[in-house]
């Protein structure tokens, strides 16, 4: 999905539920520091009182490039990538259109397209934001116990919200744990264990990243492969058309791996529609992917610690770019030697490869906004990034369809032409996507102006 879809950059007080929090007016003096839990706000916690993304009013501890990156990813997700893959598919004779269509869609199994980087971006940004939130809480004197209570509440809330959104339009609650919100929620307490300053914490976090990926690789590598009589169609795979691996890489085949085995048992603990047992996930996504995706969040955590450190901005940028390029190379090499690059089951090679891309994407926003100081162009993105939970919920419910139906209804007063007709007009999907994100952005902007920020 800050990631989080939740921002995590600001240190919020533990709550019993999501809140809509009005911010103090621009220019007003900070309140006196009060004990944690007393409703007060320390000067260090002034990142909670953001009123504008301009240099004059933005709190020093806020990373504007992270807000902009989050807003960019949220708008891409909310618009379905502007439906460019759908539009490109209407130009079958164009090689450029074929390339665009590929980049705007999820790959079938192994490999990476631009659209596959949405979820790792969410996971990575959760990690980047955590050091800011952690430092804010420590600066207010909040105890570790209260911090843990908030973390556990946030984790549970994200999981429940993910299940709630995935159940929209279903006959009953759809207990599923492979989407971005539930994956973040499952891994967040483990990530919090690694939060903190000092070189020892950084070493521990780095070792944890390596250990998580190595352990998850070993789980798959030593898993017993299905025999030659295995019925692939029973797990939703057509062996005649789906690109199945043989040899060592067969350990990472779709729905014939330890994570699929776990879900076949775990998900049947929950009520299922019409009493039918869970057999497999049609896309090959699995609950246990939260374990290797934790490595993506740890990479973000280490990046957040770097950005809060004492090095100059140019040194920070150089380190991020160098590590990002190295991760791309290492992930690609691992994908040809030890395990395939598969986002749907978050293979270790994918975790490293995607971390490289997310580091480079954040570096691009960082150099433009926080290093060069060009902030004004990013304002529309920051508006969305500061209300990512609201944007995510709007995008994942029926609101986009409602927006298009309502606008079309009232356009009928003036014309019989339906610009959103995806069958009649080649660019109909694009106009639909642009309309949806404009309306969603206007809602976010209204909330921004009213100082309303929905958080978990």
Note down pLDDT in tens along the chain; length 456 residues.
444 433 334 333 333 333 334 443 333 333 434 333 333 334 333 333 333 344 434 434 579 999 999 999 999 998 888 888 888 888 888 999 999 999 999 999 999 999 999 999 999 999 999 999 888 888 888 888 898 999 999 999 999 999 999 998 888 999 999 999 999 999 999 999 999 888 898 999 999 999 999 999 999 999 999 998 999 999 999 999 999 999 999 999 999 999 999 999 999 999 988 778 999 999 999 999 999 999 999 999 999 999 999 999 999 999 999 999 999 999 999 999 999 999 999 999 999 999 999 999 999 999 999 999 999 999 999 999 999 999 999 988 888 888 888 887 777 655 555 666 656 667 878 888 888 999 999 999 999 999 999 888
3-state secondary structure of 21: strand
Q: Tell me if 427 is assigned to some domain.
A: yes
**CA 57 – CA 66 distance, rounded (Å):** 17
Whole-number CA gyration radius for the chain: 23
Assign residue 62 a region: left if phi > 0, alpha if psi is -120 to 50, beta otherwise? beta
Token representation of residue 163: 């299940």
Note the pTM of the prediction, 2 decimals.
0.83
Map tokens 């939060």 to a residue. 195
Per-residue model confidence (pLDDT) at position 96 = 92
Q: Is 456 helix (H, G, I), strand (E, B) or coil?
A: coil
| Cα dihedral 346/348/352/358 (nearest 10) | 10
100 close to 88: Cβ distance less than 8 angstroms: yes
Token code pair at residue 35: 């004990």
In a domain, 41, yes or no: no
User: Does 3 reside within a domain?
Assistant: no
The structure tokens listed for 141 are 């004197």
Number of Cβ within 10 Å of residue 136's Cβ equals 22
110 by DSSP, 3-state: which?
strand
Partners of residue 22 on adjacent β-strands: 452
Could you tell me if residue 45 is inside a domain? no
Both tokens of residue 11? 């240190």
The reply to whether 246 falls in a domain is yes
CA distances from 351 to 74, 89, 218, 357, 430 (A): 21, 29, 15, 10, 31
Structural domain boundaries, residue 429: 19-28+50-455
Structural domains counted in the chain: 1
DSSP string covering 163-174: HHHHTTTSSS--
Helix (H) or strand (E) holding 292, with range, is: helix 290-308
Domain assignment present for 67: yes
Asked, for residue 278, whether it belongs to a domain, the answer is yes
* CA separation for the pair 150, 248 (Å, rounded): 43
Residue at 12 is within a domain: no
Are 6 and 158 spatial neighbours (Cβ–Cβ below 8 Å)?
Answer: yes
For the record, the structure tokens of 89 come out as: 């598919």
């Amino acid at each position: 999905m800050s990631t989080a879809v939740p921002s995590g950059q600001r240190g919020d007080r533990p709550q019993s539920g999501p809140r809509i929090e009005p911010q103090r007016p621009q220019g007003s003096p900070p309140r006196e520091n009060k004990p944690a839990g007393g409703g007060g706000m320390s000067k260090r916690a002034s990142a909670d009182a953001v009123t504008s993304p301009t240099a004059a009013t933005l709190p020093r501890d806020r990373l504007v490039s992270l807000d902009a990156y989050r807003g960019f990813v949220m708008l891409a997700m909310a618009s379905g990538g502007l439906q460019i893959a759908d539009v490109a598919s209407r130009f079958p004779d164009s090689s450029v259109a074929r390339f665009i269509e590929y980049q705007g869609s999820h790959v079938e199994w192994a490999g990476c397209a631009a659209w596959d980087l949405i979820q790792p971006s969410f996971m990575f940004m959760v990690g980047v934001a955590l050091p800011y939130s952690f430092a804010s809480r420590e600066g207010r004197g909040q105890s570790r116990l209260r911090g843990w209570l908030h973390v556990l509440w946030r984790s549970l809330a994200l999981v429940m919200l993910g299940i709630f959104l995935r159940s929209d339009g279903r006959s009953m609650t759809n207990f599923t744990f492979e989407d971005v919100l539930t994956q973040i929620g499952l891994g967040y307490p483990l990530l919090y264990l690694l939060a903190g300053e000092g070189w020892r914490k950084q070493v521990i976090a780095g070792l944890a990243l390596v250990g998580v990926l190595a352990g998850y690789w070993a789980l798959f590598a030593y898993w017993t492969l299905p025999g030659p009589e295995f019925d692939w169609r029973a797990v939703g795979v057509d062996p005649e058309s789906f690109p199945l691996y043989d040899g060592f890489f067969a350990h990472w085949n779709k729905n014939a791996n330890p994570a699929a085995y776990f879900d076949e048992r775990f998900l049947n603990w929950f009520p299922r529609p019409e009493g039918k047992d869970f057999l497999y996930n049609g896309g090959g996504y699995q609950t246990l992917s939260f374990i290797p995706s934790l490595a993506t969040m740890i990479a973000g955590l280490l990046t957040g610690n770097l950005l809060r450190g004492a090095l100059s901005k140019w040194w920070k940028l150089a380190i991020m770019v160098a590590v990002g390029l190295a991760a791309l190379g290492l992930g690609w090499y691992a994908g040809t030697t030890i395990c395939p690059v598969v986002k749907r089951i978050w293979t270790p090679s994918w975790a490293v490869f995607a971390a490289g891309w997310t580091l480079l994407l954040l570096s691009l926003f960082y150099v433009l906004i926080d290093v060069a100081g060009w902030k004004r162009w990013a304002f529309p993105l920051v508006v969305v990034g500061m209300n990512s939970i609201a944007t995510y919920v709007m995008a994942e419910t029926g609101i986009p369809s409602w927006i298009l139906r309502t606008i079309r209804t009232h356009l009928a007063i003036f014309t019989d032409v339906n610009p959103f007709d995806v069958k009649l007009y080649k660019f109909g999907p694009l106009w639909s996507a642009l309309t949806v994100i404009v309306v969603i952005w206007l809602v976010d902007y209204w909330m921004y102006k009213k100082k309303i920020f929905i958080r978990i």
